[in-house]
Amino acid sequence: MHTPTDGWTTCALGHRHWGLAGAAGLLLHRVGADGPEVLLQHRADWSHHGGTWGTPGGALHADEDVAAGALREVCEELGLLPDDVVLGERSVDDHGGWSYTTVLARPARAIEAADLRLDGESAGVAWVALAALDEVPLHPGLAGSLARLRPLLLRALAR
């Protein structure tokens, strides 16, 4: 579906970003067998920053609430429904003229990566241990936000 906010834009930091109204993603977290984990999407090779791992999400529509936008994107990309998750804190990565909002969330039911229905933008999805994030090629947006997201994650996981 084409919306008026579809398109490339250049932020104040000189990156190219998709989505004129900014973007949002969902950072699902849980405590797994090997400690804290986050659900990451392996981006399809043809996509922007293809081959990297990032939070599922995408461009916001005009005047769309960031949480609603993040949920809409994870529904499209992974088949998750709003009732499948419990939303937590938000963190905004403001690049100047474009921003990415990460919405933390925990599963409201058991969510196994193998059960998710992927669309064409995803080459895969997996729970990745927080301690192993340095070992996978991260999307530059996620890599750049990790220092800010990590304390939020640890706080959320401690609840």
Site residues, Zn ion (CB under 5 A): 11, 13, 15, 95
101, exposed or middle or buried, with CB in 10 Å at 0-12, 13-18, 19+? buried
Which is nearer to Zn ion, 127 or 145 (by Cβ)?
A: 145
What residues are paired with 103 via a beta bridge? 26, 90
Query: Which pair of tokens denotes residue 148?
Result: 């800010």
Residue 94 Cβ, how far from Zn ion at the closest point, in Å? 9
Residue 22 Cβ, how far from Zn ion at the closest point, in Å? 10
Residue 49 Cβ, how far from Zn ion at the closest point, in Å? 12
